Amino acid sequence: MQNRKIVISGSPGAGKTSVIEGLNAMGYTVFQEYSRSIIEEGKAQGKANFFLSDPYQFSERLFLGRKEQFGRANLLAVNETKPYVFFDRGVHDTYAYLEALGKGNSMWKDRVNAFQYDLVFLFDPWESIYKTDAERKETFKEAQRYFPFIQNVYQQDHTVVLVPKVSVEVRIAFILNYLSNENE
């Protein structure tokens, strides 16, 4: 038996990380969003927007980091009371973002499809909570553009559940209730 791998993904700035942080505080195993460290490295190299300036190099780094997170999840001991490992975005997001730029190809699609998560919770764009920061530079309208690509990539071979636009606590309860009811 292995822990179940659960992806929390969706539109940038839709509240995913707050939910991940809440699940972590509750004692669940989580893997944080990997792209922020790559964005910081890019800035140190003088790349204001590493993803847009070199999408393939950025995506390769991101893919390898998320692949490593996926592999580390396989090595974790099973937690009988909390048998879920949550990922702030998964491997497939890499391909979805390339698709949004019109740069996706069959090689990238095949690479990400070699990975299978047990369930994906998607957060759709939510303007009233959207904020830019040092790593998230896009406007809300630009951030919205990525959501259909993310949704499409995951729906091809994963069970996808849309998370309602409610408080962080209610979102966490929604996710945990769904997982609990799924196991009955």
Blockwise average pLDDT, block size 10, the chain, 184 residues: 91 92 96 78 65 76 92 90 94 94 94 96 92 74 91 96 97 97 74
User: What is the pLDDT, as a whole number, of residue 130?
Assistant: 87
Distance CA 91, CA 64 (A): 9
CA atoms within 13 A on the CB side of 163: 31
User: What is the pLDDT, as a whole number, of residue 134?
Assistant: 63
Q: Environment class of residue 183 by beta-carbon count within 10 Å: exposed (0-12), middle (13-18) or buried (19+)?
A: exposed
User: What is the pLDDT, as a whole number, of residue 151?
Assistant: 97
CA distances from 172 to 33, 70, 98, 130, 157 (A): 17, 22, 29, 19, 24
Residue 63 near residue 47, CB atoms below 8 Å: no
Distance CA 152, CA 173 (A): 25
User: What is the pLDDT, as a whole number, of residue 184?
Assistant: 59
Residue entry with tokens 């950025």: 58
> Which residue, among 85, 81, 88, 61, has the nearest Cα to 73 in the 3D structure?
85
Residue 29 near residue 83, CB atoms below 8 Å: no
Distance CA 121, CA 112 (A): 17
Amino acid letter, residue 138: E
> Residues with Cβ < 8 Å from 105, sequence gap 6 or more?
98
Residue 164 near residue 14, CB atoms below 8 Å: no
Beta strand residue intervals within the chain, DSSP E: 4-10, 29-31, 84-88, 119-123, 160-162
